[in-house]
Copies of this chain bind each other. A is one copy, B any other.
């Protein structure tokens, strides 16, 4: 399996996009649809034989459909090494929940990582589209095409009044969850972020830190997503989310401009120090690296770096994660050495960039 997946690890990860011309604030857009097959119990209640049967049916349907492309991956997770599983997790292609299922867990994956299906996670199918930047419509169009193709082959559990049936009641209806990952250092630095998070909560949307759980916001990356799947059409959900995201982006840009006006040297200093840390340190924890990368990303957005582009910064956000570092080092590395390898990797990638 390792050799087959090598092409995947060499990919840019879909979740950290940098489509040219895109807004700097929005990193990526992700939408998922929860679907289940009739005649099978939900994964939580299914036995090994039923899970395997579901996985086979999904695999056959994907092979027959064209949406994932010919060169797609069709993975049985129990055949992967723990390292390969972690790499998929760090690339946001599988969830912790999928990884903990002992048998029957699968992943159908387009070679460019923009479309994926988790099989036998909480639901039989979790269809996902990932796009760089702020592209809800485009992502939904693509995901919807995949959904239509699979729905014509497989029999999805659907209730005329409730909509799509899902394992957890919070997903019943559209089964749709859309999220946009935003980089909000301006709102964090100007201490407006708490207020913003509270406002988003009231709109029945969710905010999560991009790394780790809960309100953790290392890297100043935030995922904004819809909470409810019932009572609104797919289009209504996306439009409501879209309008909030657009407002947030405008607020972030406004706060950056104000910071540049009122606290210019503080801002330059923060970015400069972060770059100096990444460029010259010999030991870096993941937290330090994320925080510094966030500041440098802001610097790139503000035009402080001539030689540095978002592409490289985004690659580093991924490359410094533990499993990616281990792959890069060629041997399993544990925390104290990992920090040394992390710093070495970043120094190497930044060594040609001299000026701020």
A residues sitting closer than 8 Å to B (CB atoms) are 265-266, 268-269, 272-273, 275-283, 340, 343, 351, 354-356
Contacts and interface: CB of A to CB of B under 8 A. Distances in A.
B282 A279 contact: no
Given A269-B281, A269-B282, A276-B280, 10 more contacts: A266-B283, A269-B343, A272-B280, A273-B280, A275-B280, A276-B276, A276-B278, A277-B277, A279-B280, A280-B356
Nearest to A355: B351
Given A273-B277, A276-B276, A282-B265, A354 B354 contact: yes
Main secondary structure of the interface of A (DSSP, over half): helix
A288 to B, nearest CB: 10
A347 to B, nearest CB: 8
A303 to B, nearest CB: 15
25 contacts: A265-B282, A265-B283, A265-B340, A266-B283, A268-B282, A269-B281, A269-B283, A272-B280, A272-B282, A273-B276, A273-B277, A273-B280, A273-B281, A275-B276, A275-B280, A276-B276, A276-B277, A276-B278, A276-B280, A276-B281, A277-B277, A280-B356, A351-B354, A351-B355, A354-B354
Contacts of A279: 276, 279-280
Rank and list the top 5 A-B pairs by shortest CB-CB distance, nearest first: A276-B276, A276-B280, A269-B282, A272-B280, A268-B282
Contacts of A351: 354-355
Contacts of A283: 265-266, 269
A340 B269 CA distance: 9
A287 to B, nearest CB: 15
A313 to B, nearest CB: 15
Contacts of A268: 282
A336 to B, nearest CB: 8
A128 B176 CA distance: 82
A155 B276 CA distance: 59
Contacts of A343: 269
Contacts of A281: 269, 272-273, 276
A278 B276 CA distance: 8
Nearest to A272: B280
A270 to B, nearest CB: 8
A279 B355 CA distance: 9
A104 B205 CA distance: 77
A277 B275 CA distance: 9
A198 B287 CA distance: 40
